[in-house]
């Protein structure tokens, strides 16, 4: 069962490993809680070949470039005091070996816990296991989840993270790399309170132009959620892809052919984890960045709409006080007016320079350069917060 969380912060960027991160975050826990967040997504907590944590090796070592085991546990304890849930980044699609095995590839894991041999690695990434059940993550041994001994070991490790280390939520990295049925098995065994998968698939483009209809894209994400037995939510990459084109003066994109939001949010909002950017899409990697001069329009959309919104660390702490205060005001409106992942909504306008909607019959919002305010014929609205090209109203 998913226990939904209202507002999440992705608590790191691609360079965080350079800055004693567990200590840095511990110093900000009070501020994060005061801002109204309920969960913090942390970077991978266990030893990795690369400093960012996404090429795991010794899965039972909590001493990383982000800090020591002591500092991690101090951070988790402080988060619990402030009623902030901790989300572990679970990287189990691939693993870096310690010794060379078959073919001269580092596909053996001798000398560390979970000392697997080449049979734990898929045959299409240099191992003696079975073929992949999903997309290949190039350049590294990909873990063969079809092997009973592998799944048993992963379950043991996830239970350790959940019940011994104290993480409450899980984020599954590169979720399209292995069958969703294994994610279901892992969730059922480890019993995290909430899970989200990174099923990052390319949106539909014609040349460099994003297609209006992204139904097949969001359907692939929904199929993955179904494959987990509906036990996991998923990042709403469909909404991100459409929203970051819409803010350039194409707000007609934000209403699908049935009059609903065009991302996963429009079909299954309680499983849609919305976001503007994260350590991959933004930060110094900038694989798919949101237009920087439209960031607040993005947040005005996701923080007033159904789904489970996520705020990027950089936007809250590194883009200046003005952006931070604007985000905090939007979070306050969401909390005060009781907007939840399943809140009802009605789109009023979706055209070139304007998008407007009513959410939960309590909040009205608009983004875009066009001047607009809600009709006062039936409801008296008062301005709750506003900024460049966005405004949010609540019922008086």
Q: How far apart are CA 91 and CA 44, in angstroms?
A: 7
**Residue 7 has what pLDDT?**
81
Residue 293 has pLDDT above 50, yes or no: yes
Q: Domains in the chain: how many in total?
A: 1
**Residue 75 has what pLDDT?**
98
Burial class (CB in 10 A: 0-12, 13-18, 19+), 155: middle
Residue 3 has pLDDT above 80, yes or no: no
Residue 187 lies in a domain: yes
| Residues 6+ away with beta carbon under 8 Å from 131 | 122, 123, 124
| Residue-wise pLDDT tens digits, 84-96 | 999 999 999 999 9
Residue 230 has pLDDT above 70, yes or no: yes
Residue 111 lies in a domain: yes
| Structural domain boundaries enclosing 139 | 8-343
Q: What is the mean pLDDT of residues 224-244?
A: 98
Residue 396 banded pLDDT, cuts 50, 70, 90: confident
Dihedrals phi, psi of 165, to nearest 5 degrees: -75, -40
Residue 365 lies in a domain: no
| Residues 6+ away with beta carbon under 8 Å from 291 | 244, 247, 248
Q: Which of 144, 153, 169, 173 is catalytic?
A: 173
**Known catalytic membership, residue 211:** no
Q: How far apart are CA 123 and CA 130, in angstroms?
A: 5
Residue 308 lies in a domain: yes
**Residue 271 has what pLDDT?**
98
Question: Could you tell me the CA-to-CA distances from 168 to 23, 164, 359 in Å, in that order?
Answer: 20, 11, 30
User: 293: which DSSP letter?
Assistant: G
Asked if residues 121 and 141 have their Cβ atoms less than 8 Å apart, the reply is yes
Residue 1 has pLDDT above 80, yes or no: no
Residue 393 lies in a domain: no
Asked if residues 309 and 43 have their Cβ atoms less than 8 Å apart, the reply is no
Q: How far apart are CA 236 and CA 198, in angstroms?
A: 9
**Residue 377 has what pLDDT?**
62
Residue 375 banded pLDDT, cuts 50, 70, 90: confident
Share of the chain above pLDDT 70, in %: 98
Q: Which of 26, 198, 245, 280 is catalytic?
A: 198
| Residues 6+ away with beta carbon under 8 Å from 275 | 10, 235, 236, 240, 302, 309, 310, 311, 312
**Known catalytic membership, residue 245:** no
| Residue-wise pLDDT tens digits, 54-63 | 999 999 999 9
Q: How far apart are CA 165 and CA 192, in angstroms?
A: 12
Residue 207 region by backbone torsions, left for phi larger than 0, else alpha for psi between -120 and 50, else beta: left
Q: What is the mean pLDDT of residues 6-29?
A: 95
Residue 360 lies in a domain: no
| Residues 6+ away with beta carbon under 8 Å from 32 | 9, 11, 40, 82, 84
Q: Order of strands, edge to edge, in the sheet holding 390-395?
A: 345-351, 354-359, 363-367, 390-395, 381-387
Residue 5 has pLDDT above 60, yes or no: no
Residue 362 lies in a domain: no
Q: How far apart are CA 383 and CA 393, in angstroms?
A: 4
pTM of the model: 0.97
Q: What is the mean pLDDT of residues 281-310?
A: 97
Q: What is the mean pLDDT of residues 5-20?
A: 91
Q: How far apart are CA 206 and CA 138, in angstroms?
A: 26
Asked if residues 55 and 16 have their Cβ atoms less than 8 Å apart, the reply is no
Q: How far apart are CA 312 and CA 10, in angstroms?
A: 5
Q: How far apart are CA 127 and CA 150, in angstroms?
A: 13
Q: What is the mean pLDDT of residues 207-225?
A: 97
Residue 42 has pLDDT above 70, yes or no: yes
Q: What is the mean pLDDT of residues 186-214?
A: 97
| Residue-wise pLDDT tens digits, 384-393 | 999 999 999 9
Q: How far apart are CA 160 and CA 47, in angstroms?
A: 15
**Residue 378 has what pLDDT?**
62
CA 122 to chain centre: 27
**Residue 2 has what pLDDT?**
45
Residue 113 lies in a domain: yes
CATH of the domain at 213: 3.20.20.80
């Amino acid at each position: 069962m998913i226990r939904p969380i209202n507002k999440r912060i992705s608590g790191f960027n691609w360079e965080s490993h350079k800055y004693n991160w567990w200590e840095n975050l511990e110093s900000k826990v009070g501020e994060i809680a005061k801002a109204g967040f309920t969960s913090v997504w942390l970077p991978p907590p266990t030893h990795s070949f690369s400093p960012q944590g996404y090429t795991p090796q010794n899965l039972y070592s909590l001493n990383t470039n982000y800090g020591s085991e002591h500092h991690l546990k101090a951070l988790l304890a402080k988060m619990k005091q402030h009623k902030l849930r901790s989300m572990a980044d679970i990287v189990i699609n691939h693993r870096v070996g310690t010794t060379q095995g078959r073919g001269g590839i580092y596909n053996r894991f001798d000398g560390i816990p979970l000392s697997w041999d080449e049979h734990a690695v898929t045959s299409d990434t240099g191992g003696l296991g079975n073929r992949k059940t999903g997309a290949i993550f190039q350049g590294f041994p990909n873990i063969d989840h079809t092997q009973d001994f592998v799944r048993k070991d992963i379950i043991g490790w996830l239970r350790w993270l959940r019940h011994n280390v104290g993480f409450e939520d899980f984020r599954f990295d590169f979720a399209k790399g292995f069958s969703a049925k294994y994610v279901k098995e892992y969730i059922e065994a480890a019993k995290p309170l909430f899970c989200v998968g990174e099923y990052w698939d390319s949106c539909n483009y014609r040349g460099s132009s994003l297609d209006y209809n992204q139904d097949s894209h969001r359907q692939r994400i929904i199929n993955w959620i179904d494959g987990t037995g509906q036990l996991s939510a998923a990042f709403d990459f469909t909404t991100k892809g459409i929203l970051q084109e819409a803010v350039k003066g194409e707000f007609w994109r934000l209403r699908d052919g049935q009059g609903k939001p065009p991302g996963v949010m429009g079909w299954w909002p309680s499983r849609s984890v919305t976001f503007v950017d994260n350590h991959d899409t933004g930060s110094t990697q900038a694989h798919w960045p949101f237009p920087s001069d439209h960031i607040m329009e993005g947040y005005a959309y996701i923080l007033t709409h159904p789904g489970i919104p996520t705020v990027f660390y950089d936007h809250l702490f590194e883009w200046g006080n003005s952006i931070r205060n604007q985000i905090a005001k939007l979070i306050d409106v969401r909390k005060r007016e009781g907007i939840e992942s399943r809140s009802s909504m009605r789109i009023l306008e979706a055209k070139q320079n304007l998008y407007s909607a009513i959410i939960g019959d309590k909040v009205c919002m608009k983004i875009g350069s066009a001047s607009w305010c809600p009709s006062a014929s039936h409801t008296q609205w008062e301005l709750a917060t506003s900024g460049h090209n966005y405004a949010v109203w609540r019922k008086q």
